[in-house]
Amino acid sequence: MKSKALRDSARGQDCTFQISGVCNGNSETTVLCHLPSETGGMSLKSTDECSAFGCYDCHQVIDGHVQNEEYKNHQWFYNFRALIRTLGEWQRLELLKFKGAK
């Protein structure tokens, strides 16, 4: 799935990755970062629902442009935490709805 609304929702948001020693804390640099998943692959981004809000510096690490030992050692923690935080924000913004949720 590709969604302009989900991509645009990252603008001005806090970084949900907050990689220790990496995150710049500047919401003006936040974009939607696509996480590794089975919907992505060689030269293909994951779908937008498998994404999270990330600042420029965290995004550079996630995409592998900058190597970081902290992220390398705890990648699943950072990615899962960011995804859960982003899904919660999308639900709050009513960009993502769960049937029967209150």
In the numeric block, the tokens 């500047």 are attached to 26
Catalytic residue among 34, 59, 65, 74: 34
For the chain, strand residue ranges (E) read 31-34, 51-54
3-class secondary structure, 56: helix
Rounded-to-5 percentages of helix, strand, coil across the chain: 40, 10, 50
Q: Is 34 a catalytic residue?
A: yes
The two tokens of residue 95 are: 């960009």
82 contacts 50 by C-beta, under 8 angstroms: no
**Enzyme catalytic residues:** 34
